[in-house]
Amino acid sequence: MKLLSTAKFLIALLSSANALIPLEIKGNRFIKPAVDAKEAGEVFFIMGVDYQPGGSSDYSSSSNSDVLSDADACYRDAYVLQELGANTVRIYTVNPDVNHDKCMSILNDAGIYVMLDVNSPLGGESLNRADPASTYNSYYLSRVFKVIEAFKNYPNVIGFFSGNEIINDDASAKEDPRYIRALQRDMKQYIAAHADRSIPVGYSAANELDYRGATWQYLQCNIDGDEDDESKSDFFGLNTYEWCSGQSDWASSGYGTLNNTFQDSAIPLLFSEYGCIAVTPRTFDEVTEGLYSGLINTFSGGLVYEYSKESNNYGLVDIDSDGDLQFYTDYDNLKSQFEDVSLPSISEDDVADAEIIKCNAKTVKSYFSSFGANFTLPDQPSEIKDLIKNGVNATNVGKLVDVSEKYGGYEIELASGGDVATESAIATFSGYNTYNSQTGVTLSGTKASSSAAKSTATTSSSSSSSSSKAEGASAGGSAKSTGIMFALSLLLTSLL
Ligand SMILES: *[C@@H]1O[C@H](CO)[C@@H](O)[C@H](O)[C@H]1NC(C)=O
Ligand SMILES: *[C@@H]1O[C@H](CO)[C@@H](O)[C@H](O)[C@H]1NC(C)=O
Ligand SMILES: *[C@@H]1O[C@H](CO)[C@@H](O)[C@H](O)[C@H]1NC(C)=O
């Protein structure tokens, strides 16, 4: 009797959970799966910031540190991000050889998702836009694969960006598109061979009017209509600074054009950067008057550029050399904009499955006639094939670890002056973020059963094909209930 009522209580507790990871993709939406496998998931909107304290150029492969290696800083920032109302960060540069377990676990437990670029500013660690063939090789791809290894087991990773603004002039628009698809092909083959779930891969585009529509059409389609095409993007980000605080509105910002251009997207769209600084402090009117209102049917939210102030003078907060942090008025303004957003609640069931758009060079060129709309991708060099087959010798495969709520130890100063009291500057951890009934990934990094994890991966990849819907749903259902039973038995064990 006692056992039964405890179990009922736990089920009630579990179904009231509001944070569940990892996200999946269905059609043109990110989906947050429901805890209870019998219930449909919900459309997830990204309310995020770009996060690279120190700036991308601060990165050095020999420094043994990166933005996710200092747990105290991550405690500080998890609080600051939660306080802001953010649910996602995008990180541009990481060192695949350092340990990110604590920071990723802190973000995970605080309910914050991560989108991650696989590149670095160092030579040979990204595609060279002026000569992509010279960098499409195993030296570059082994860095990319090491980043995947380092992050593949964190359930709060939404996806990887294959590149950022690689296409930014006529020459790169002609030469680079095939290489971006080749890189995405290799990344997705690596993920399929070495990760337990199908982590999405997408691209972050410059908002150049000439190229943006062509780039999106080129990347979202399936070559020869093949539904298993690995080279397509799973999502598409746009870096747009079209709306400047106090100057722009829906009409003058070009958001209406954006809404028209992208309305039939087959894949999720987001602003991977936004937040023009022509007028400061920024009031971020585009949040409530644009991105999360007029664009809400077309885009899935976005990421404000950027968290900390660096040499280019964006930044919601200032972090000094001691790690003490101060909010700018921009931070307060964005926070109140986020508070005023009312997101629609959309059931997974109401999201259409992705249509397969067969790649067509004419369609792409209708946006920009000199775009390199060639769908014959560069061959995969045999060294890259070998890396995918055998895996890179990753010494650093991340996993969630046990972390507890804690003050970061840095001073946090309000924009209006005065400090946040130490005992208040602590992020709230939800127990529901610490295990995952979809993959069965738990705090200890163990899994419910590998078959459960694998069939979940099938669900998310099959969700992009209309034909296998029923099959995918039932496979996902059993994986989910296995996960819940596992979580339940874990909790029961710990109680009894
Ligand atoms: C944006 O496009 C969607 C179609 O995707 C449409 O439903 C909506 O009305 C448009 N918004 C505005 C403000 O024009
Ligand atoms: C596409 O690129 C391939 C490889 O470089 C080349 O052989 C082919 O002619 C190109 N196709 C078109 C339509 O330009
Ligand atoms: C991995 O390590 C082994 C043993 O150190 C070595 O023989 C092998 O060549 C390495 N493979 C790669 C892809 O670096």
pLDDT digits (tens, 9 = 90+) for 448-472: 333 333 333 323 333 333 222 222 2
| Residue that wins the pLDDT comparison between 55 and 94 | 94
Token pair recorded at residue 197: 């779930």
- Domains defined for the chain, CATH in brackets: 18-390 (3.20.20.80)
- Please report the pLDDT score of residue 8 as a whole number: 38
Q: What's the pLDDT tens digit per position in 162-189?
A: 999 999 999 999 999 999 999 999 999 9
- Which has the minimum average pLDDT: 250-259, 288-297, 432-441? 432-441
Ligand 2 atom with the smallest distance to the CA of 378 is: 4
- Please report the pLDDT score of residue 316 as a whole number: 98
Q: What's the pLDDT tens digit per position in 232-252?
A: 999 999 999 999 999 999 999
Task: Tell me whether residue 405 is one of the annotated catalytic residues.
Answer: no
| Confidence category of residue 59, pLDDT binned at 50, 70, 90 | confident
User: What count of Cα atoms within 13 Å lies in the side-chain half-sphere of residue 85?
Assistant: 18
Q: Taking 90 as the threshold, does the pLDDT of residue 411 lie above it? A: yes
CA–centroid distance, 391 to ligand 3, in Å, is 10
The alpha helices in 368-407, defined as continuous H runs, are 382-390
Q: Taking 70 as the threshold, does the pLDDT of residue 392 lie above it? A: yes
- Please report the pLDDT score of residue 14 as a whole number: 40
Average pLDDT, the chain: 86
Task: Tell me whether residue 273 is one of the annotated catalytic residues.
Answer: yes
Number of Cβ within 10 Å of residue 351's Cβ equals: 20
CA–centroid distance, 259 to ligand 1, in Å, is 6
pTM as predicted? 0.86
Direct distance between the N- and C-terminal alpha carbons of the chain, in angstroms, rounded to an integer? 13
Q: Taking 50 as the threshold, does the pLDDT of residue 447 lie above it? A: no
- Please report the pLDDT score of residue 462 as a whole number: 30
CA torsion angle 476 479 481 486 (round to 10): -160
CA–centroid distance, 42 to ligand 1, in Å, is 20
Q: What's the pLDDT tens digit per position in 105-160?
A: 999 999 999 999 999 999 999 999 999 999 999 999 999 999 999 999 999 999 99
Closest ligand to Cα 133 = 2
Ligand 2 atom with the smallest distance to the CA of 375 is: 1
Type of residue numbered 448: A
| Confidence category of residue 439, pLDDT binned at 50, 70, 90 | low
Q: What's the pLDDT tens digit per position in 275-320?
A: 999 999 999 999 999 999 999 999 999 999 999 999 999 999 999 9
- C-alpha pair distances (Å), 381 with each of 136, 179, 188, 473, 484: 9, 13, 16, 37, 43
Q: Please identify which residue in the block is written with the tokens 């598109």.
A: 177
CA–centroid distance, 273 to ligand 2, in Å, is 33
Ligand 3 contact, 382 CB (< 6 A)? no
Out of 259, 263, 295, 299, give the residue to mutate to test ligand 1, the one with the largest number of ligand atoms within 8 Å of its CB.
259
Catalytic pick from 242, 273, 286, 289? 273
| Residue that wins the pLDDT comparison between 457 and 396 | 396
- What is d(CA 338, CA 304) in angstroms, rounded to the nearest whole number? 11
Ligand 3 atom with the smallest distance to the CA of 142 is: 13
